[in-house]
Structure 1
Amino acid sequence: MALSGKQIRHLRSLAHHLNPVVLIGKAGVTSGTTQQASEGLEAHELIKCGVQDGCDQTATEVAHELAELVGAEVVQVIGHRFSLYRPSKKKDIEHIKLPQ
């Protein structure tokens, strides 16, 4: 699922006001952080994550690794924070409507 530039800009504007729900520590991407990110994406479709100072990887490396593990798209990486998007299969949540 490749996102267009217009869709990425829309998702970046939505993610701007979010607080990080997944924090990556010095252990890096673990099964616990992967599960937490997957649950967050299923519930909200768009999440913000943070990489703490003790982590050996950069935020970009962590973002792409985590996105690959949970089947999501990296929306944006700024500093120690990044945003991920994955459409949810749940019917009872408000889905993000992406521009065409």
Structure 2
Amino acid sequence: MSLSQAQKKALRSIGHHLDPVVMVSENGISDGVVAELNRALTDHELIKVKLALPEREDRTAMIEELLDASGAELIQKIGKVALLYRHNPQVNPKLSNIKRFENHHGRR
């Protein structure tokens, strides 16, 4: 599921106003974190994840683990926040951050 640069730019624009919905602590990735990550991606498609790790290398490794566990794609990483996307063909338009943005801004 490789996105073009234009698609990533559009997703970054939508993601700019989102708040993190999944938090990962220094304890690492638990089954609960993976379950919440997958639920959030299924419902919203585009989400922010906050990584409470002080070291950049640790955050990068944690993001890779999250991507492997969820099948999501990294759209952007700034500091301790990562923007992740995973398409859901049967998404609820009332929950999807992408559909809500498109409906709000008159796009289809």
TM-score by length of 1: 0.84
Q: CA deviation at 1:57?
A: 5.7
- Number of residue pairs matched by the alignment: 97
Q: For the residues of structure 2 that align with 1:56 and 1:5, how far apart are their CA atoms?
A: 24
The answer on 1:51 being equivalent to 2:55 is no
For 1:9, the equivalent position in structure 2 comes to 9
TM-score by length of 2: 0.78
For 2:41, the equivalent position in structure 1 comes to 41
Residue segments in structure 1 that go unaligned for 5+ positions in a row: none
RMSD (CA atoms) = 2.1
Q: For the residues of structure 1 that align with 2:91 and 2:79, how far apart are their CA atoms?
A: 34
Contact 2:41 2:86 in 1 (8 A): yes
- The structure that is helix-richer by fraction is 2
- Tell me the amino acid that sits aligned with residue 25 of structure 2: G
Q: For the residues of structure 2 that align with 1:28 and 1:57, how far apart are their CA atoms?
A: 14
Structural mapping, 1:1-100, within 5 Å: 1-53=1-53, 58-93=58-93, 96=98
Find the structure with the greater CA-based Rg.
2
Residue segments in structure 2 that go unaligned for 5+ positions in a row: 100-108
State percent identity of aligned pairs: 36
